[in-house]
Structure 1
Amino acid sequence: MDRLELDDRDRKIIALFEQNPEISQTEIAEHVGLSQPTVGARIIKLKNSGALATSVGVDLKRAGMNVAKVDITTRDSNKVIDLFKQCPYFLNGLIVSGKENLSIFFAAEDIATIEALVGRHLRSNPSVTSVDFGIVISSVQSLTMPVKIGFEKTDISPCGYNCPECQYYVHNQCLGCPMTTHYKGTFW
C-alpha cells in the first residue's frame, strides 16, 4: 500500500471538515487560497485515498445510550466478530495484540441488556476464555457512532435466538433484539 502524502492545503481542508462537516467547497476555497474547482478535485482525491471520510451516526451519550467496551480472550476473533455483524447493539470490533485479543463495543438503552448480550453470546461461547466488561463512564470527545436503524422486524433475531425463549428476556434482564417484534425498548 502506498504511503499517503498530504500537503499543507490538504491538511487544512481536512481540518476544516473536522471543524464543520457541512462546510461548502466555496468556503474551503476562501480559507486555503484555491479555486472552488481545485478544492473539489482535492476533496475527491482525499476521499478516494481514504484521508477524508464521512460517517453518519448517533451521539450515543446525548441519546441516553449506555456504551460498553468488552475485552475478550478468544481462540477465534473473526468467529466471535461474525456473531455480531448484524446485531444492532454492536458498534465495532477491534482485533488487537496481547492476552485480550479482541475488543468489542456495544450500545443499548440499559446496562442489563448489554450484560445479557455478553452473557448469552460471549461468556457461554466455548472459543472465549475470558471476558472483561466495562461501561464507558465518559468520553473526551463526542461519542458519535454509526448505529443500525431502519430494518424490517422479524420474529427471530439475526443471531438465531427467539427472545421469548431467552431467560434474560423472560426475566426482564434484556430488552430483546431491536430487529425483532419482541423488542421492548424505545430507541430502535
Structure 2
Amino acid sequence: MTTLRPALAAAAAVACLAAAVPVHAATYAIDPTHTFVTFEIPHFGTSTNRGRFDKKTGSVQFDRAARTGKVEISIDTASINTGVGPFNEHLRSKDFFDAANHPTATFVAERMVFDGDKVAEVPGRLTLRGRTHPVTLKATNFNCYDNPMFKREVCGGDFVATIKRSQFGVDWGLEMGFPDEVRLLVQVEAIKQ
C-alpha cells in the first residue's frame, strides 16, 4: 500500500498540472464573402433605409469547450453601399461617417457569453468617427460546421445591436426627424486557421 501512495501522488500532480495548462483558443479569420455589417434606420416612418459595408477584415479567437472568445473586426467606412450612388457619397461625407478623416471603424470584444456551447452575445466596444462606446451584439443564430470546400471548421452567425448614432458624432438629420437609433445587423463567418 505504501508503494501506491507515491504513484497516486505523482498521478495527482500530473493531473493538476494538466488542468493548470491553459487551453488555447483557435484563431479564425473573418471570411469577407460571408461577413457583412448592415445598418437599418427608418425613413420618416415609411420605408427603411439600409446600407452595408463591403470591405472588412478581422479575426476571432474561439474555444467552444472553454467557452471563451475574442473578436477584432475592422470596417472600411468608405465601402458603404446602399445601392444609390449619391446616398453613398453623402454617407461618406462629414455629415455621417466622415470616411476621409475616419477611414476605419472597429469592433473589439475581449469575451463572449455562451448559452451551452453556442455564442449568445458578444459584449465589446465600437469605435466610429474616433469615439468609442460599448455595444453588445446579440446572437440570433450561431453554428459551426466543417466547410467542404475549405476542409476546415467555420463558425459564425447572425448578430444584432441597436446604437445611438449621436454618441458617435453622427447628428445629421436629427432636427429633421431622422431617428437617433440605428439597428446593426452583423452576419459573420470565420474560418479556422
What is the TM-score of this pair, normalised by structure 2?
Answer: 0.22
Structure with the bigger percentage of strand: 2
Q: Larger Rg: 1 or 2?
A: 2
Structure with the bigger percentage of helix: 1
